């Protein structure tokens, strides 16, 4: 490492630490913001999005090269503001002190309470694929719980990061919220800050590094990672409907979604029909990849990775179906037609790593147990998508295959539900946010026992005599 690099890292670390110290001091001065302050913070978050909507849409499009305006509106603007509205509606209820049962006659007259209190200063590390959703959704949970926050944006979100840094001061003081651009090494130093909670969304490899850095400070983490999310179609389910729903999700954001369908199990008798129906869907809904509604792959490295994945599968004997027919990838716009890759083997890249693009791996099965065994032999995915009108079969899949979340008879949309938690399991992540679970994640649920003026425990102090023997023996008998 050169002297210049050392100085840059030292300056970055000091800048981040100074900002943390400023927010931490503000937290200590006002550790439990009142309901009205939290509501005002949530309303300010919503204004920040709505009053700068067009600039946000433009900045994200610039960062992508091309990002469908409608996809940004749906996934970044509408979804987030709707979530903020839901949080405001329920916040007063969430903040209430909870009464709990007092255990044992020895504590008669006492009271148990659980008091939700802010953790303090939260750190949020944001990926590039949904940069507003994956920063403002955890921010809504953090502010609802009464915290302050520092947000580190992705190196692929240059235009958006610059915009958010410029406008955030109109809505929040730096003691409450500040955004950081990734200029090289910022993320590494960011994860070393002794936050009260650190939220990371991204790859499993980077997530492990973030968790290792956080562990040095015993900082708790929420990791939203990813993995290869499967779908399975019951042969009794309407195949055309399943194909339409899967292909819509697969083309959304050019497939660059951590909860996207990575591969789909189709009954062996329906393989050819699935491909034919997928081709018909693309011909109708995505006829031209160069259209502005078809989103670009984020950068050159990702574009080349996807082409290499296709070539690896092709050279090793897989069947490749370009669903756009003769239309070829566009290197200038970094756009790739949707492809189905079938007849794959375990040594192919597409079997081994998350695709994160418009490539869909097709696997066949005869018996549902084959699906269960295959998925369970691999890392637990962030999402799972069974398509079936057979409730017994659906329950069997849900009970036997563990994943972060599930959408039945569609894909992706469990993430858009504000009243259920979102989060992974095992290699696909840990912890939850969204809705009440988000409020809980960013809170310390303080257990408090209030001892009354009179306590029976005074009769059970040492030296222990016959009365203590009688009481303890009685308690043993009653609890046995």
pLDDT class for 6, splitting at 50, 70, 90? Answer: low
Instruction: Kindly tell me if the per-residue pLDDT of 248 is higher than 80.
Output: yes
- CA distance linking residue 256 with residue 355, whole number of Å: 8
* The two three-digit tokens of residue 132, written as one number: 């507003």
pLDDT class for 284, splitting at 50, 70, 90? Answer: very high
pLDDT of residue 107: 85
- CA distance linking residue 182 with residue 151, whole number of Å: 10
pLDDT of residue 201: 96
Instruction: Kindly tell me if the per-residue pLDDT of 106 is higher than 80.
Output: no
- CA distance linking residue 162 with residue 181, whole number of Å: 7
Report the catalytic residues.
224, 258
Rounded mean pLDDT of 357-385?
98
The percentage of residues in the chain with a pLDDT greater than 70, rounded to a whole number, is 98
Query: Which is more confident, 469 or 212?
Result: 212
Q: Which domains does the chain have, with CATH numbers?
A: 3-225+432-444 (3.40.605.10), 230-418 (3.40.309.10)
pLDDT of residue 184: 87
The percentage of residues in the chain with a pLDDT greater than 90, rounded to a whole number, is 89
- Write out pLDDT tens, residues 164-197: 999 999 999 999 999 999 998 899 999 999 999 9
- Write out pLDDT tens, residues 381-398: 999 999 999 999 999 999
pLDDT of residue 8: 53
Question: CA-CA distances (angstroms) from residue 285 to 30, 202, 231, 325, 338?
Answer: 53, 29, 21, 14, 12
Instruction: Kindly tell me if the per-residue pLDDT of 461 is higher than 90.
Output: no
pLDDT class for 3, splitting at 50, 70, 90? Answer: very low
pLDDT of residue 472: 83
Instruction: Kindly tell me if the per-residue pLDDT of 416 is higher than 70.
Output: yes
Instruction: Kindly tell me if the per-residue pLDDT of 238 is higher than 50.
Output: yes
Maximum C-alpha span of the chain: 92
Instruction: Kindly tell me if the per-residue pLDDT of 4 is higher than 50.
Output: no
pLDDT of residue 83: 97
Residues, the chain: 480
pLDDT of residue 9: 64
Contact by Cβ (8 Å): 193, 210 = no
- Write out pLDDT tens, residues 10-31: 789 999 999 999 999 999 999 9
* The two three-digit tokens of residue 155, written as one number: 């190196």
- Write out pLDDT tens, residues 191-234: 999 999 999 999 999 999 999 999 999 999 999 998 999 999 99
- Write out pLDDT tens, residues 44-101: 999 999 999 999 999 999 999 999 999 999 999 999 999 999 999 999 999 999 999 9
- Write out pLDDT tens, residues 150-167: 999 999 999 999 999 999
Instruction: Kindly tell me if the per-residue pLDDT of 2 is higher than 60.
Output: no
- The residue whose two tokens read 């490899």 is 205
């Amino acid at each position: 490492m050169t002297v210049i690099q050392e100085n840059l890292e030292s300056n970055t670390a000091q800048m981040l630490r100074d900002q943390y110290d400023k927010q931490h001091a503000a937290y200590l001065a006002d550790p439990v913001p009142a309901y009205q302050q939290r509501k005002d913070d949530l309303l300010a978050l919503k204004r920040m999005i709505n009053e700068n909507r067009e600039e946000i849409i433009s900045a994200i499009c610039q960062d992508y090269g091309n990002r469908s305006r409608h996809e940004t509106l749906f996934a970044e603007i509408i979804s987030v503001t709707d979530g903020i509205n839901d949080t405001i509606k329920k916040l007063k209820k969430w903040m209430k002190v909870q009464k709990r049962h007092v255990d044992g006659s020895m504590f008669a007259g006492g009271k148990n309470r659980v008091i939700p209190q802010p953790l303090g200063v939260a750190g949020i590390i944001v990926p590039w694929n949904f940069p507003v959703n994956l920063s403002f959704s955890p921010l809504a949970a953090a502010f609802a719980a009464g915290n302050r926050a520092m947000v580190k944006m992705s190196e692929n979100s240059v235009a958006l990061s610059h915009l958010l840094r410029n406008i955030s001061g109109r809505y929040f003081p730096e003691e409450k919220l500040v955004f950081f651009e990734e200029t090289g090494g910022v993320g590494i130093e960011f994860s070393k800050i002794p936050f009260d909670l650190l939220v990371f969304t991204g790859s499993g490899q980077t997530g492990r590094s973030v968790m290792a850095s956080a562990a040095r400070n015993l900082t708790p983490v929420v990791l939203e990672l990813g993995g290869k999310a499967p779908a399975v179609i019951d042969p009794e389910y309407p195949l055309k409907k399943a194909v339409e729903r899967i292909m819509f999700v697969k083309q959304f954001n050019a497939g660059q979604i951590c909860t996207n369908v990575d591969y789909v199990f189709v009954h062996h008798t329906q393989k050819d029909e699935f491909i034919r129906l997928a081709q018909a869907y693309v011909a109708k809904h995505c006829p031209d990849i160069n259209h502005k509604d078809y989103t670009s792959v984020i950068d050159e490295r990702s574009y080349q990775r996807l082409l290499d994945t296709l070539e690896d599968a092709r050279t090793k004997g897989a069947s490749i179906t370009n669903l756009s027919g003769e239309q070829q990838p566009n290197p200038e716009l970094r756009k790739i037609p949707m492809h189905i890759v079938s007849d794959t083997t375990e040594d192919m890249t597409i079997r081994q790593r998350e695709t994160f693009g418009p490539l869909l791996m097709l696997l066949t099965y005869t018996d549902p147990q084959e699906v269960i065994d295959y998925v369970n032999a691999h890392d637990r995915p962030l999402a799972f998508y069974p398509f079936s009108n057979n409730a017994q079969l659906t329950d069997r899949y849900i009970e036997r295959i563990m994943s972060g979340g599930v959408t039945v008879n569609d894909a992706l949309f469990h993430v858009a539900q504000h009243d259920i938690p979102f989060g992974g399991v095992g290699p696909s992540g840990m912890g939850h946010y969204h809705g009440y679970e988000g409020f809980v994640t960013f809170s310390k649920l303080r257990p408090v026992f209030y001892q009354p003026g009179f306590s029976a425990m005074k009769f059970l102090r040492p030296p222990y005599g016959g009365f203590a023997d009688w009481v303890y023996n009685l308690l043993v008998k009653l609890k046995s």
